[in-house]
Structure 1
Protein backbone atom coordinates (compact mmCIF):
# COMPACT_ATOMS: atom_id res chain seq x y z
CA UNK A 1 0.00 0.00 0.00
CA UNK A 2 1.40 3.43 -0.93
CA UNK A 3 2.04 6.02 1.77
CA UNK A 4 -0.49 8.42 0.25
CA UNK A 5 -3.10 5.65 0.34
CA UNK A 6 -2.25 4.96 4.01
CA UNK A 7 -2.79 8.62 4.86
CA UNK A 8 -6.15 8.66 3.05
CA UNK A 9 -7.31 5.78 5.22
CA UNK A 10 -6.53 7.70 8.41
CA UNK A 11 -9.23 9.56 10.38
CA UNK A 12 -9.69 13.16 9.12
CA UNK A 13 -8.22 14.74 12.24
CA UNK A 14 -5.07 12.63 12.01
CA UNK A 15 -4.70 13.71 8.39
CA UNK A 16 -4.99 17.35 9.53
CA UNK A 17 -2.33 16.75 12.17
CA UNK A 18 0.07 15.28 9.64
CA UNK A 19 -0.59 18.12 7.21
CA UNK A 20 0.07 20.67 9.95
CA UNK A 21 3.34 18.93 10.80
CA UNK A 22 4.32 18.92 7.13
CA UNK A 23 3.44 22.61 6.91
CA UNK A 24 5.79 23.42 9.80
CA UNK A 25 8.58 21.34 8.25
CA UNK A 26 8.12 23.25 4.98
CA UNK A 27 8.18 26.63 6.71
CA UNK A 28 11.35 25.61 8.55
CA UNK A 29 12.98 24.69 5.22
CA UNK A 30 12.01 28.10 3.81
CA UNK A 31 13.20 30.06 6.83
CA UNK A 32 16.51 28.23 6.94
CA UNK A 33 17.08 29.01 3.26
CA UNK A 34 15.84 32.60 3.17
CA UNK A 35 15.87 34.29 6.60
CA UNK A 36 19.25 35.76 7.73
CA UNK A 37 18.52 35.10 11.43
CA UNK A 38 17.32 31.52 10.96
CA UNK A 39 20.19 30.77 8.59
CA UNK A 40 22.70 31.91 11.21
CA UNK A 41 21.48 29.69 14.06
CA UNK A 42 23.41 26.67 15.36
CA UNK A 43 22.63 23.93 17.86
CA UNK A 44 24.54 25.91 20.47
CA UNK A 45 22.89 29.27 19.76
CA UNK A 46 19.41 27.76 20.11
CA UNK A 47 20.15 25.98 23.39
CA UNK A 48 19.49 28.84 25.82
CA UNK A 49 16.38 29.85 23.87
CA UNK A 50 15.01 26.32 24.17
CA UNK A 51 15.61 26.35 27.93
CA UNK A 52 13.75 29.66 28.16
CA UNK A 53 10.82 28.29 26.15
CA UNK A 54 10.67 25.23 28.40
CA UNK A 55 10.40 27.40 31.50
CA UNK A 56 7.69 29.47 29.83
CA UNK A 57 5.75 26.26 29.19
CA UNK A 58 6.28 25.29 32.83
CA UNK A 59 4.84 28.64 33.98
CA UNK A 60 1.80 28.20 31.74
CA UNK A 61 1.18 24.71 33.13
CA UNK A 62 1.36 25.95 36.72
CA UNK A 63 -1.13 28.69 35.86
CA UNK A 64 -3.34 26.14 34.04
CA UNK A 65 -3.42 28.61 31.14
CA UNK A 66 -4.38 26.32 28.27
CA UNK A 67 -4.17 28.94 25.48
CA UNK A 68 -0.65 29.79 26.70
CA UNK A 69 0.27 26.09 26.96
CA UNK A 70 -0.81 25.65 23.34
CA UNK A 71 1.36 28.57 22.25
CA UNK A 72 4.41 27.43 24.21
CA UNK A 73 4.09 23.89 22.88
CA UNK A 74 4.25 25.38 19.39
CA UNK A 75 7.41 27.30 20.27
CA UNK A 76 9.07 24.17 21.62
CA UNK A 77 7.98 22.10 18.63
CA UNK A 78 9.59 24.70 16.38
CA UNK A 79 12.86 24.33 18.29
CA UNK A 80 12.78 20.53 17.96
CA UNK A 81 12.29 20.79 14.21
CA UNK A 82 15.00 23.47 14.03
CA UNK A 83 17.58 21.17 15.68
CA UNK A 84 16.69 18.31 13.31
CA UNK A 85 16.90 20.64 10.30
CA UNK A 86 20.39 21.82 11.29
CA UNK A 87 21.56 18.23 11.78
CA UNK A 88 20.10 17.19 8.41
CA UNK A 89 22.27 19.76 6.63
CA UNK A 90 25.41 17.84 7.62
CA UNK A 91 23.82 14.45 7.01
CA UNK A 92 23.74 13.50 10.69
CA UNK A 93 19.98 12.89 11.01
CA UNK A 94 16.66 14.47 10.11
CA UNK A 95 13.18 14.68 11.64
CA UNK A 96 12.19 11.23 10.37
CA UNK A 97 15.21 9.73 12.16
CA UNK A 98 14.24 11.56 15.36
CA UNK A 99 10.62 10.39 15.26
CA UNK A 100 11.43 6.82 14.25
CA UNK A 101 14.06 6.71 16.96
CA UNK A 102 11.64 7.64 19.72
CA UNK A 103 9.02 5.25 18.30
CA UNK A 104 11.49 2.34 18.45
CA UNK A 105 12.56 3.36 21.95
CA UNK A 106 8.96 3.48 23.22
CA UNK A 107 8.23 0.07 21.71
CA UNK A 108 11.35 -1.51 23.23
CA UNK A 109 10.74 0.12 26.64
CA UNK A 110 7.12 -1.12 26.78
CA UNK A 111 7.41 -4.90 26.41
CA UNK A 112 4.22 -5.21 28.50
CA UNK A 113 2.39 -3.56 25.57
CA UNK A 114 4.41 -4.71 22.54
CA UNK A 115 5.77 -7.96 23.95
CA UNK A 116 4.91 -10.67 26.44
CA UNK A 117 6.24 -9.05 29.64
CA UNK A 118 3.70 -8.55 32.44
CA UNK A 119 3.50 -5.19 34.21
CA UNK A 120 0.21 -4.39 35.88
CA UNK A 121 1.25 -1.47 38.09
CA UNK A 122 3.06 1.82 37.56
CA UNK A 123 5.90 0.66 39.83
CA UNK A 124 6.42 -2.49 37.75
CA UNK A 125 6.56 -0.39 34.59
CA UNK A 126 9.18 1.91 36.13
CA UNK A 127 11.26 -1.00 37.37
CA UNK A 128 11.18 -2.66 33.92
CA UNK A 129 12.12 0.67 32.31
CA UNK A 130 15.25 1.04 34.45
CA UNK A 131 16.30 -2.58 33.90
CA UNK A 132 15.93 -2.17 30.13
CA UNK A 133 18.10 0.96 30.22
CA UNK A 134 20.84 -1.00 32.00
CA UNK A 135 20.66 -3.70 29.32
CA UNK A 136 21.01 -0.97 26.68
CA UNK A 137 24.38 0.02 28.11
CA UNK A 138 23.78 2.40 31.02
CA UNK A 139 26.33 1.61 33.75
CA UNK A 140 24.12 3.07 36.50
CA UNK A 141 20.41 3.63 36.99
CA UNK A 142 21.39 7.19 37.91
CA UNK A 143 23.30 7.69 34.67
CA UNK A 144 20.24 9.13 32.94
CA UNK A 145 19.87 12.03 35.38
CA UNK A 146 21.14 15.16 33.55
CA UNK A 147 23.94 16.86 35.45
CA UNK A 148 22.60 20.32 34.64
CA UNK A 149 19.16 19.75 36.20
CA UNK A 150 18.23 22.21 38.98
CA UNK A 151 19.19 20.63 42.30
CA UNK A 152 15.62 20.24 43.60
CA UNK A 153 14.44 18.50 40.42
CA UNK A 154 17.61 16.39 40.35
CA UNK A 155 17.01 15.17 43.93
CA UNK A 156 13.51 14.04 42.94
CA UNK A 157 14.74 12.23 39.81
CA UNK A 158 17.59 10.54 41.70
CA UNK A 159 15.17 9.21 44.29
CA UNK A 160 12.66 8.06 41.67
CA UNK A 161 15.34 6.15 39.78
CA UNK A 162 16.72 4.57 42.97
CA UNK A 163 13.18 3.46 43.81
CA UNK A 164 12.88 1.90 40.35
CA UNK A 165 15.91 -0.23 41.23
CA UNK A 166 14.29 -1.32 44.51
CA UNK A 167 16.33 0.99 46.77
CA UNK A 168 13.79 2.93 48.82
CA UNK A 169 12.11 3.25 52.19
CA UNK A 170 9.27 0.88 52.93
CA UNK A 171 6.98 3.21 54.92
CA UNK A 172 6.48 6.98 54.86
CA UNK A 173 6.83 7.04 58.66
CA UNK A 174 10.44 5.93 58.23
CA UNK A 175 11.00 8.81 55.85
CA UNK A 176 9.48 11.32 58.27
CA UNK A 177 11.73 10.01 61.05
CA UNK A 178 14.66 10.65 58.72
CA UNK A 179 13.42 14.22 58.15
CA UNK A 180 13.30 14.82 61.91
CA UNK A 181 16.76 13.27 62.33
CA UNK A 182 18.23 15.54 59.65
CA UNK A 183 16.50 18.56 61.18
CA UNK A 184 18.16 17.84 64.53
CA UNK A 185 21.55 17.34 62.88
CA UNK A 186 21.18 20.64 61.05
CA UNK A 187 20.06 22.41 64.23
CA UNK A 188 23.04 20.95 66.12
CA UNK A 189 25.40 22.92 63.88
CA UNK A 190 24.36 26.25 65.41
CA UNK A 191 22.36 27.86 68.21
CA UNK A 192 19.54 29.90 66.71
CA UNK A 193 19.34 32.00 69.90
CA UNK A 194 22.92 33.25 69.74
CA UNK A 195 25.24 34.91 67.24
CA UNK A 196 27.95 32.29 67.54
CA UNK A 197 30.03 31.59 64.47
CA UNK A 198 28.66 28.74 62.34
CA UNK A 199 30.81 26.21 60.50
CA UNK A 200 29.20 27.02 57.19
CA UNK A 201 30.56 24.01 55.33
CA UNK A 202 29.17 21.55 57.87
CA UNK A 203 25.90 23.48 58.22
CA UNK A 204 25.50 23.54 54.44
CA UNK A 205 26.03 19.79 54.31
CA UNK A 206 23.38 19.17 56.97
CA UNK A 207 20.99 21.59 55.28
CA UNK A 208 21.44 19.70 52.02
CA UNK A 209 20.70 16.42 53.82
CA UNK A 210 17.56 18.00 55.31
CA UNK A 211 16.33 19.21 51.93
CA UNK A 212 17.02 15.81 50.36
CA UNK A 213 15.00 14.06 53.09
CA UNK A 214 12.13 16.54 52.66
CA UNK A 215 12.09 15.86 48.93
CA UNK A 216 11.99 12.16 49.77
CA UNK A 217 8.98 12.61 52.06
CA UNK A 218 7.22 14.79 49.49
CA UNK A 219 7.65 11.98 46.97
CA UNK A 220 6.08 9.50 49.39
CA UNK A 221 2.96 11.63 49.79
CA UNK A 222 2.78 12.39 46.05
CA UNK A 223 3.83 16.05 46.19
CA UNK A 224 6.19 17.38 43.54
CA UNK A 225 8.61 19.58 45.54
CA UNK A 226 9.58 21.71 42.54
CA UNK A 227 5.93 22.49 41.81
CA UNK A 228 5.18 23.12 45.49
CA UNK A 229 8.08 25.56 45.88
CA UNK A 230 7.26 27.37 42.63
CA UNK A 231 3.64 27.84 43.73
CA UNK A 232 4.93 29.32 46.98
CA UNK A 233 7.27 31.60 44.99
CA UNK A 234 4.34 32.84 42.93
CA UNK A 235 2.23 33.35 46.05
CA UNK A 236 5.00 35.40 47.69
CA UNK A 237 5.47 37.52 44.54
CA UNK A 238 1.74 38.24 44.35
CA UNK A 239 1.53 39.27 48.00
CA UNK A 240 4.71 41.34 47.90
CA UNK A 241 3.54 43.20 44.80
CA UNK A 242 0.23 43.91 46.56
CA UNK A 243 2.26 45.32 49.46
CA UNK A 244 4.19 47.55 47.06
CA UNK A 245 1.00 48.77 45.34
CA UNK A 246 -0.78 49.57 48.61
CA UNK A 247 2.24 51.42 49.94
CA UNK A 248 2.57 53.40 46.70
CA UNK A 249 -1.15 54.25 46.74
CA UNK A 250 -0.68 55.73 50.21
CA UNK A 251 2.36 57.75 49.19
CA UNK A 252 4.85 55.58 51.07
CA UNK A 253 8.09 53.89 50.12
CA UNK A 254 8.87 50.48 51.57
CA UNK A 255 12.27 51.71 52.69
CA UNK A 256 10.54 54.30 54.89
CA UNK A 257 8.04 51.90 56.48
CA UNK A 258 8.42 49.81 59.60
CA UNK A 259 8.00 46.06 59.44
CA UNK A 260 4.80 46.40 61.46
CA UNK A 261 3.38 48.81 58.87
CA UNK A 262 4.28 46.47 56.04
CA UNK A 263 2.70 43.55 57.89
CA UNK A 264 -0.67 45.32 57.75
CA UNK A 265 -0.61 45.29 53.94
CA UNK A 266 0.90 41.80 53.87
CA UNK A 267 -1.98 40.42 55.93
CA UNK A 268 -4.42 42.22 53.61
CA UNK A 269 -2.78 40.50 50.65
CA UNK A 270 -3.59 37.10 52.14
CA UNK A 271 -7.30 37.83 51.85
CA UNK A 272 -7.24 39.22 48.31
Structure 2
Protein backbone atom coordinates (compact mmCIF):
# COMPACT_ATOMS: atom_id res chain seq x y z
CA UNK A 1 0.00 0.00 0.00
CA UNK A 2 1.40 3.40 -0.93
CA UNK A 3 1.90 6.01 1.77
CA UNK A 4 -1.07 8.44 1.56
CA UNK A 5 0.63 11.26 3.44
CA UNK A 6 1.33 14.46 1.46
CA UNK A 7 5.01 14.60 0.56
CA UNK A 8 5.64 10.86 0.83
CA UNK A 9 6.63 10.63 -2.84
CA UNK A 10 9.41 13.13 -2.15
CA UNK A 11 11.15 10.35 -0.23
CA UNK A 12 10.97 8.20 -3.36
CA UNK A 13 12.61 10.99 -5.37
CA UNK A 14 15.40 11.31 -2.80
CA UNK A 15 15.96 7.55 -2.94
CA UNK A 16 16.07 7.53 -6.75
CA UNK A 17 18.54 10.42 -6.79
CA UNK A 18 20.70 8.64 -4.23
CA UNK A 19 20.83 5.53 -6.38
CA UNK A 20 21.67 7.49 -9.52
CA UNK A 21 24.49 9.29 -7.76
CA UNK A 22 25.91 6.28 -5.90
CA UNK A 23 28.42 3.67 -7.19
CA UNK A 24 26.69 1.46 -9.72
CA UNK A 25 24.31 4.24 -10.67
CA UNK A 26 24.42 6.61 -13.63
CA UNK A 27 27.92 7.75 -14.74
CA UNK A 28 26.57 11.09 -15.98
CA UNK A 29 24.77 11.86 -12.72
CA UNK A 30 27.87 10.88 -10.74
CA UNK A 31 30.01 13.40 -12.64
CA UNK A 32 27.83 16.45 -12.06
CA UNK A 33 28.77 19.33 -9.79
CA UNK A 34 26.89 22.38 -8.51
CA UNK A 35 28.48 24.38 -11.32
CA UNK A 36 27.70 21.93 -14.12
CA UNK A 37 24.07 21.71 -13.01
CA UNK A 38 23.43 25.47 -13.07
CA UNK A 39 22.46 25.58 -16.74
CA UNK A 40 19.76 22.98 -16.11
CA UNK A 41 18.46 24.85 -13.07
CA UNK A 42 18.04 27.98 -15.18
CA UNK A 43 16.49 26.08 -18.10
CA UNK A 44 13.99 24.26 -15.90
CA UNK A 45 13.00 27.52 -14.21
CA UNK A 46 12.13 29.09 -17.55
CA UNK A 47 10.27 25.96 -18.62
CA UNK A 48 8.09 26.27 -15.52
CA UNK A 49 7.38 29.88 -16.46
CA UNK A 50 6.41 28.80 -19.98
CA UNK A 51 4.17 26.04 -18.62
CA UNK A 52 2.35 28.54 -16.39
CA UNK A 53 1.88 31.02 -19.21
CA UNK A 54 1.26 28.72 -22.17
CA UNK A 55 1.04 25.10 -21.12
CA UNK A 56 -1.51 22.66 -19.77
CA UNK A 57 -1.90 21.45 -16.20
CA UNK A 58 -0.02 18.30 -17.20
CA UNK A 59 2.82 20.43 -18.59
CA UNK A 60 3.04 22.38 -15.35
CA UNK A 61 3.07 19.23 -13.24
CA UNK A 62 5.90 17.80 -15.33
CA UNK A 63 7.98 20.97 -15.34
CA UNK A 64 7.61 21.45 -11.59
CA UNK A 65 8.91 17.91 -11.20
CA UNK A 66 11.93 18.71 -13.37
CA UNK A 67 12.62 21.80 -11.27
CA UNK A 68 12.22 19.84 -8.04
CA UNK A 69 14.74 17.33 -9.34
CA UNK A 70 17.31 20.11 -9.59
CA UNK A 71 16.88 20.96 -5.90
CA UNK A 72 17.17 17.32 -4.87
CA UNK A 73 20.16 16.84 -7.20
CA UNK A 74 22.02 19.82 -5.72
CA UNK A 75 21.27 18.60 -2.20
CA UNK A 76 22.65 15.15 -3.08
CA UNK A 77 25.84 16.71 -4.47
CA UNK A 78 26.16 18.86 -1.34
CA UNK A 79 25.93 15.75 0.81
CA UNK A 80 29.31 14.63 -0.55
CA UNK A 81 31.19 17.84 0.24
CA UNK A 82 34.15 16.90 2.46
CA UNK A 83 34.31 20.23 4.30
CA UNK A 84 30.70 21.44 4.73
CA UNK A 85 28.25 18.69 3.79
CA UNK A 86 24.50 19.08 4.03
CA UNK A 87 21.61 17.04 2.69
CA UNK A 88 18.05 17.49 1.52
CA UNK A 89 16.75 17.34 5.11
CA UNK A 90 19.01 20.24 6.04
CA UNK A 91 17.69 22.18 3.05
CA UNK A 92 14.09 21.50 4.08
CA UNK A 93 14.77 22.31 7.74
CA UNK A 94 16.34 25.63 6.78
CA UNK A 95 13.39 26.79 4.70
CA UNK A 96 10.86 25.58 7.29
CA UNK A 97 12.63 27.58 9.99
CA UNK A 98 12.78 30.64 7.72
CA UNK A 99 9.09 30.46 6.85
CA UNK A 100 8.09 30.13 10.50
CA UNK A 101 10.38 33.00 11.51
CA UNK A 102 9.09 35.29 8.78
CA UNK A 103 5.44 34.58 9.54
CA UNK A 104 5.17 35.34 13.26
CA UNK A 105 1.48 36.22 12.77
CA UNK A 106 0.90 32.59 11.76
CA UNK A 107 3.34 30.59 13.90
CA UNK A 108 4.09 32.80 16.93
CA UNK A 109 0.67 34.22 17.75
CA UNK A 110 1.56 37.80 16.86
CA UNK A 111 -0.99 40.21 15.45
CA UNK A 112 -1.07 40.60 11.70
CA UNK A 113 0.98 43.65 10.73
CA UNK A 114 -0.79 46.41 8.80
CA UNK A 115 2.06 46.31 6.30
CA UNK A 116 3.08 42.67 5.82
CA UNK A 117 5.90 43.60 3.44
CA UNK A 118 7.42 45.96 6.01
CA UNK A 119 7.18 43.26 8.67
CA UNK A 120 8.80 40.77 6.32
CA UNK A 121 11.63 43.20 5.59
CA UNK A 122 12.16 43.86 9.30
CA UNK A 123 12.55 40.15 10.04
CA UNK A 124 14.93 39.74 7.11
CA UNK A 125 17.03 42.64 8.41
CA UNK A 126 17.59 40.83 11.71
CA UNK A 127 18.60 37.67 9.85
CA UNK A 128 21.08 39.27 7.49
CA UNK A 129 22.31 42.71 8.57
CA UNK A 130 23.16 44.69 5.43
CA UNK A 131 24.84 47.98 4.72
CA UNK A 132 22.31 48.88 2.03
CA UNK A 133 18.70 48.07 1.29
CA UNK A 134 19.97 46.95 -2.12
CA UNK A 135 22.27 44.27 -0.73
CA UNK A 136 21.24 40.73 -1.55
CA UNK A 137 19.69 41.35 -4.96
CA UNK A 138 21.15 38.65 -7.23
CA UNK A 139 23.48 40.30 -9.75
CA UNK A 140 22.71 37.63 -12.34
CA UNK A 141 19.04 38.51 -12.67
CA UNK A 142 17.91 39.50 -16.16
CA UNK A 143 18.08 43.27 -16.56
CA UNK A 144 14.32 43.88 -16.41
CA UNK A 145 13.81 41.67 -13.35
CA UNK A 146 16.74 43.30 -11.60
CA UNK A 147 15.49 46.81 -12.35
CA UNK A 148 12.06 45.90 -10.95
CA UNK A 149 13.67 44.46 -7.80
CA UNK A 150 15.89 47.52 -7.29
CA UNK A 151 13.00 49.96 -7.74
CA UNK A 152 10.83 47.97 -5.35
CA UNK A 153 13.50 48.02 -2.63
CA UNK A 154 14.16 51.73 -3.09
CA UNK A 155 10.49 52.72 -3.08
CA UNK A 156 9.69 50.68 0.04
CA UNK A 157 12.51 52.46 1.83
CA UNK A 158 11.69 55.98 0.64
CA UNK A 159 14.73 56.22 -1.66
CA UNK A 160 12.80 56.51 -4.91
CA UNK A 161 9.50 58.15 -5.67
CA UNK A 162 6.78 55.64 -6.66
CA UNK A 163 5.07 56.47 -9.91
CA UNK A 164 1.30 56.76 -9.74
CA UNK A 165 0.10 55.48 -13.08
CA UNK A 166 -2.77 53.25 -14.07
CA UNK A 167 -1.91 50.85 -16.86
CA UNK A 168 -2.84 47.37 -17.96
CA UNK A 169 -0.36 44.55 -18.47
CA UNK A 170 -0.94 44.83 -22.23
CA UNK A 171 -0.23 48.57 -22.22
CA UNK A 172 3.00 48.09 -20.30
CA UNK A 173 3.99 45.27 -22.62
CA UNK A 174 3.38 47.46 -25.66
CA UNK A 175 5.46 50.27 -24.14
CA UNK A 176 8.33 47.89 -23.37
CA UNK A 177 8.17 46.46 -26.87
CA UNK A 178 8.29 49.98 -28.29
CA UNK A 179 11.45 50.70 -26.28
CA UNK A 180 13.03 47.47 -27.54
CA UNK A 181 12.07 48.44 -31.09
CA UNK A 182 13.80 51.83 -30.63
CA UNK A 183 16.87 50.13 -29.20
CA UNK A 184 17.01 47.73 -32.13
CA UNK A 185 16.71 50.57 -34.62
CA UNK A 186 19.50 52.45 -32.84
CA UNK A 187 21.76 49.41 -32.64
CA UNK A 188 21.64 49.43 -28.84
CA UNK A 189 21.50 46.29 -26.70
CA UNK A 190 18.42 46.93 -24.51
CA UNK A 191 19.57 44.50 -21.80
CA UNK A 192 22.94 46.24 -21.52
CA UNK A 193 21.34 49.68 -21.59
CA UNK A 194 18.95 48.80 -18.76
CA UNK A 195 21.72 47.19 -16.71
CA UNK A 196 23.76 50.38 -17.02
CA UNK A 197 20.84 52.61 -16.04
CA UNK A 198 20.00 50.37 -13.07
CA UNK A 199 23.62 50.40 -11.89
CA UNK A 200 23.63 54.20 -12.04
CA UNK A 201 20.40 54.28 -10.01
CA UNK A 202 21.90 51.91 -7.43
CA UNK A 203 25.09 53.97 -7.16
CA UNK A 204 23.13 57.16 -6.53
CA UNK A 205 20.87 55.43 -3.98
CA UNK A 206 23.82 53.97 -2.07
CA UNK A 207 25.41 57.41 -1.97
CA UNK A 208 22.23 58.84 -0.47
CA UNK A 209 22.17 56.05 2.12
CA UNK A 210 25.76 56.79 3.13
CA UNK A 211 25.05 60.51 3.37
CA UNK A 212 21.99 59.90 5.54
CA UNK A 213 23.61 57.28 7.73
Q: TM > 0.5 between the two?
A: yes
Q: 1:164 to 1:129 in 2, by over 3 A?
A: farther
Residue equivalent to 2:107: 114
CA distance in structure 1 between the aligned counterparts of 2:168 and 2:157, rounded to whole angstroms: 21
CA distance in structure 1 between the aligned counterparts of 2:60 and 2:167, rounded to whole angstroms: 24
Is the contact made by 1:107 and 1:114 (CA closer than 8 Å) also made in structure 2? Answer: yes
**Aligned-pair CA distance for 1:92:** 1.5
CA distance in structure 2 between the aligned counterparts of 1:172 and 1:84, rounded to whole angstroms: 44
Q: Deviations over 1:224-255 (max 9, x none)?
A: 79x947x97xxxxxxxxxxxxxxxxxxxxxxx
Is the aligned partner of 1:160 residue 2:149? no
Match among 95, 99, 122 for residue 92 of structure 2: 99
Map residues 1-272 of structure 1 onto 2, 5 A cutoff. 15-33=4-22, 34-90=25-81, 92-121=85-114, 124-136=115-127, 137-169=129-161, 172=164, 221=166, 228=173
**Aligned-pair CA distance for 1:48:** 0.8
Residue equivalent to 1:210: none
CA distance in structure 1 between the aligned counterparts of 2:5 and 2:167, rounded to whole angstroms: 38
Q: Which structure's CA Rg is the greater one?
A: 1
Q: 1:222 to 1:64 in 2, by over 3 A?
A: farther
Please give the root-mean-square deviation of Cα atoms over the aligned residues, in Å: 2.9
TM-score (norm: length of structure 1)? 0.55
TM-score (norm: length of structure 2)? 0.69
Is the contact made by 2:113 and 2:119 (CA closer than 8 Å) also made in structure 1? Answer: no
Q: 1:222 to 1:134 in 2, by over 3 A?
A: farther
Is the contact made by 2:155 and 2:162 (CA closer than 8 Å) also made in structure 1? Answer: no
**Aligned-pair CA distance for 1:67:** 1.3
CA distance in structure 2 between the aligned counterparts of 1:160 and 1:144, rounded to whole angstroms: 13
**Aligned-pair CA distance for 1:82:** 0.4
Q: 1:75 to 1:19 in 2, by over 3 A?
A: same
Is the contact made by 1:60 and 1:68 (CA closer than 8 Å) also made in structure 2? Answer: yes
CA distance in structure 2 between the aligned counterparts of 1:129 and 1:88, rounded to whole angstroms: 31
**Aligned-pair CA distance for 1:168:** 4.9
**Aligned-pair CA distance for 1:45:** 0.4
Higher relative helix content: 1
Q: Which has the higher contact order (CA 8 A, sep 6+)?
A: 2
